Amino acid sequence: MADQPLILYHYPFSPYARRLIWYLKIRGIPYCQCLQPPILPRPDLSTHLSLNYRRIPLLAHGGDLYLDTRLILNLLDTLFPPPPLTADQKTITHLLSTLTTATTLFFKAAELLPSSLPVMKDPKFLRDRATFSPAIFAAPRTKEDRALSRAEALLEIQSSVRLLEETILSDGRNWVLGGKEPTRADVEGVWVIHWLLTLPPPHNDNALDPAVINKTRYPKTMAWVNRFDQFINALSEKEGRVIKGGEAAELILKGKKGGDIGVDETDPVVKVQGLKKGDVVEVFPTDTGSAFKDRGRLVGVDEKEVVWENEKGVRVHAPRLGFRVLGVKGRPSL
Ligand SMILES: N[C@@H](CCC(=O)N[C@@H](CS)C(=O)NCC(=O)O)C(=O)O
């Protein structure tokens, strides 16, 4: 199946998308990219593929469409296995992923985006993001509340930088797992702090107060982010070919589908709802973009992913963590 095309749907300023682009480049994995607008609508997904999920990025592999970078990175490691890791290296990689994707870190970073950024002054963007994360973009707050919550956000980012400085990077290694080149572990650890440190000038100094996060206090971490940035920039020739939404959809709709994982009847969520293969299910993320729900016939579910086929025949995969799977009772229709 590694011969099926990979199509990445994204827009370049998405920090989550960069997680994937960096990994694809570091591993030298060929891919195509289908560029999306930073705000809805995204007819390449909604019209061509009948997908409601609103988050970026997504990755298609043959006739299968994968949601969420955590699932997508695991897919890439299955299709293109990296050199074997020790148990300790696997642990570090996993814990860095947890730190940056399963805590409030990303939201704290988003909180720190300077209000001087053009998108932060664009009412259309702000209206759009209010439907993605009401807690950050729609909550009415006084100036004082906002200043305090930015200060707390900075403290949380600082604590993650200190963690890197005092643990993984404390022995002066160049890359998280040692070695001569960055690995997935670097990608998992770096993307949030890299995002804030590399905002376009003149905004790059505004997100992280240089009096708090600087080279004197955190020399190893700051040097590592810089080293990573240079490494990635040197790989810029490995850009994926850009394709249009129509071509991408055609490739997916006629793409070969992967194997069937079946429905695990011991799965607690399957069991409590009595779900069976072919049942209509509704699936949606529980943290952000939760109002954008997808429906389809259940194809498979295990502890790692849920798979359903939608009305266009696209086989969609979502991770179990952070997603709800609901059986649709009554008169189920897609
Ligand atoms: N857990 C998701 C989070 C993805 C996410 O939040 N992406 C942001 C962009 S960086 C997003 O979708 N923002 C709203 C949008 O673009 O519609 C993942 O790992 O893929």
The dihedrals phi and psi of 242, each to the nearest 5 degrees, come to: -85, 130
- The separation between the first and the last C-alpha atoms of the chain, rounded to the nearest angstrom, is 29
Do the beta carbons of residue 1 and residue 79 sit within 8 Å? yes
Give every CB contact of residue 323 below 8 A, 6+ residues apart in sequence: 67, 68, 283, 284, 285, 286, 306
pLDDT given for residue 136 in this prediction: 75
Do the beta carbons of residue 93 and residue 62 sit within 8 Å? no
Do the beta carbons of residue 320 and residue 306 sit within 8 Å? yes
pLDDT given for residue 331 in this prediction: 56
pLDDT given for residue 230 in this prediction: 97
User: Cα(39) to centroid of ligand 1, in Å?
Assistant: 11
The arithmetic mean of pLDDT across residues 104-117, rounded, is 93
User: Cα(68) to centroid of ligand 1, in Å?
Assistant: 8
The arithmetic mean of pLDDT across residues 281-285, rounded, is 98
Burial of 238 (0-12, 13-18, 19+ CB in 10 A): middle
User: Cα(180) to centroid of ligand 1, in Å?
Assistant: 31
Give every CB contact of residue 151 below 8 A, 6+ residues apart in sequence: none
Alpha-carbon distance 219 to 165, whole Å? 8
pLDDT given for residue 319 in this prediction: 98
Alpha-carbon distance 9 to 251, whole Å? 13
Q: Atom 11 of ligand 1 has which residue's CA nearest to it?
A: 55
Q: Which protein residues are within 6 Å of ligand 1, measured from CB?
A: 14-16, 54-56, 68-70, 101, 132, 288
Q: Decide: helix, strand or coil at residue 273.
A: helix
Q: Which ligand 1 atom lies nearest to the CA of residue 129?
A: 14
- Residues 309-333 pLDDT 10s: 999 999 999 999 999 999 997 656 6
Q: Atom 20 of ligand 1 has which residue's CA nearest to it?
A: 68
Residue 236 carries which DSSP code?
G
Q: Which ligand 1 atom lies nearest to the CA of residue 42?
A: 17
Q: Which ligand 1 atom lies nearest to the CA of residue 106?
A: 6
pLDDT given for residue 332 in this prediction: 61
The arithmetic mean of pLDDT across residues 161-189, rounded, is 98
Domains of the chain (ranges; CATH) run 6-80+240-327 (3.40.30.110), 87-235 (1.20.1050)
Q: Is the pLDDT of residue 8 over 90?
A: yes
Q: Among 10, 11, 16, which is best to mutate for testing ligand 1, by the most ligand atoms less than 8 A from CB?
A: 16
The residue ranking higher by pLDDT, 2 or 286, is: 286
Q: Is the pLDDT of residue 45 over 90?
A: yes
Alpha-carbon distance 39 to 5, whole Å? 26
Q: Which ligand 1 atom lies nearest to the CA of residue 17?
A: 10
Average pLDDT of the chain to the nearest whole number = 94
User: Cα(173) to centroid of ligand 1, in Å?
Assistant: 31
User: Cα(113) to centroid of ligand 1, in Å?
Assistant: 15
The arithmetic mean of pLDDT across residues 160-165, rounded, is 98
Residue type, 261: I
Q: Atom 15 of ligand 1 has which residue's CA nearest to it?
A: 55
pLDDT given for residue 330 in this prediction: 64
Place of tokens 């200043």: 147
Q: Among 11, 55, 128, which is best to mutate for testing ligand 1, by the most ligand atoms less than 8 A from CB?
A: 55
Q: Atom 2 of ligand 1 has which residue's CA nearest to it?
A: 68
Beta bridge partners of 1: none
Banded pLDDT at 1 (limits 50, 70, 90): low
Q: Is the pLDDT of residue 119 over 60?
A: yes
User: Cα(258) to centroid of ligand 1, in Å?
Assistant: 25
% of the chain with per-residue pLDDT over 90: 88
Q: Is the pLDDT of residue 126 over 60?
A: yes
Alpha-carbon distance 82 to 90, whole Å? 12
Do the beta carbons of residue 18 and residue 263 sit within 8 Å? no
pLDDT given for residue 2 in this prediction: 65
Q: Which of 122, 133, 124, 135 lies closest to 41, judged by CA?
A: 124
pLDDT given for residue 246 in this prediction: 98
C-alpha dihedral (196, 198, 203, 206), degrees to nearest 10 = 40
Tokens in use for 170?
A: 């404390």
